[in-house]
């Protein structure tokens, strides 16, 4: 079973850069997208059902902003659009699709880098999302939460960690929160479980030559419940083409 998570930084832009063709080759069973920057009415049929896949969407009310989606080879048994928290549901940050005993979530956790007000919104999101993660873990299902978590957990997860100790995305409170998700709620960071010593950057600033010099951050995760995480076999960050400022995170899991 192959699962891909990709922040496309505008789905229409990514499709113009070859993302549709990439999906044809990637042979994924599930694809989680973040930062669609589009309303459902703006999407072409190719974007809604690429290569015959089913699509589930949670678009932001604000045009050209945020939004998440899940593509799947088969139709979901059940779908949850949003978190049930109006402040964040207006921004299109959470969609869940259930398939038998498997649940696939696409998550776009807020960034706090643009202003202090957004950082406070990010902290509010963490406060309401933590009990949701606890509840989902307690369901006893195989579950993976894919997406742009906008937090680098450890020093290995960003190149310039010393220069970012006081910056959003690497604040002590944010890192502690991710640590609790892993160590207290027992969600597995699948990449780090597979590759303890490999940086695995998934995002690069557009400033300077961050991408060319690989001065990146690992802020895109697949967080899985224990049973599913134990079936993770291999993973890679796809960098052969550049669809956005993020790169797709691809994980292969053994089938049940």
**136: burial class by Cβ within 10 Å (0-12, 13-18, 19+)?**
middle
Instruction: Answer whether 179's CB lies under 8 Å from 221's CB.
Output: no
H or E element at residue 81:
strand 78-81
Closest CA relative to residue 69, chosen from 115, 15, 16: 15
246 is known to lie in a ligand binding site: yes
Would residue 108 show up in a list of annotated catalytic residues for this protein?
Answer: yes
Would residue 246 show up in a list of annotated catalytic residues for this protein?
Answer: yes
245 is known to lie in a ligand binding site: yes
Residue 110 per-residue DSSP state: P
164 is known to lie in a ligand binding site: no
**194: burial class by Cβ within 10 Å (0-12, 13-18, 19+)?**
middle
User: Edge-to-edge strand order for the sheet containing 232-237?
Assistant: 54-58, 68-72, 30-34, 2-7, 249-253, 232-237
Would residue 183 show up in a list of annotated catalytic residues for this protein?
Answer: no
Token pair 């059940």 is at which residue? Answer: 78
Choose, from 153, 157, 201, 246, the residue flagged as catalytic: 246
35 is known to lie in a ligand binding site: yes
Q: Mapping DSSP to helix (H, G, I), strand (E, B) and coil, where does residue 244 land?
A: coil
148 is known to lie in a ligand binding site: yes
Choose, from 22, 108, 221, 253, the residue flagged as catalytic: 108
- Binding region: 7, 35, 148, 150, 245-246
Residues that are catalytic: 108, 148, 246
Q: Which residues are annotated as a binding site for Mg(2+)?
A: 7, 35, 148, 150, 245-246
């Amino acid at each position: 079973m192959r699962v891909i998570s990709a922040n496309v930084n505008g789905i229409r832009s990514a499709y113009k850069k070859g993302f549709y063709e990439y999906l044809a080759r990637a042979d994924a069973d599930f694809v989680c997208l973040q930062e669609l920057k589009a309303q459902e009415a703006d999407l072409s049929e190719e974007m809604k059902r690429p290569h015959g896949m089913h699509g589930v969407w949670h678009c932001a009310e604000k045009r050209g902003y945020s939004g998440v989606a899940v593509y799947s080879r088969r139709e979901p048994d059940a779908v949850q659009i949003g978190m049930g928290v109006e402040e964040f549901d207006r921004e299109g940050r959470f969609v869940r699709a259930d398939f038998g005993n498997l649940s696939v979530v696409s998550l776009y956790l807020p960034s706090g880098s643009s202003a202090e007000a957004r950082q406070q919104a990010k902290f509010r999101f963490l406060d309401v999302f933590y009990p949701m993660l606890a509840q989902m873990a307690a369901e006893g299902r195989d579950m993976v939460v894919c997406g742009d978590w906008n937090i680098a957990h450890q020093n290995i997860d960003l190149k310039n960690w010393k220069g970012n100790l006081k910056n959003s995305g690497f604040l002590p409170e944010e890192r502690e929160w991710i640590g609790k998700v892993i160590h207290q709620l027992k969600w597995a960071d699948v990449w780090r479980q597979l590759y303890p010593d490999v940086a695995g950057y998934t995002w690069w600033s557009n400033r300077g030559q961050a991408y060319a010099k690989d001065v990146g951050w690992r802020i895109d995760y697949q967080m899985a419940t224990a049973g599913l995480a134990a079936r993770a076999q291999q993973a890679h960050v796809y960098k052969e083409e550049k669809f956005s400022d993020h790169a797709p995170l691809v994980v292969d899991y053994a089938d049940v």
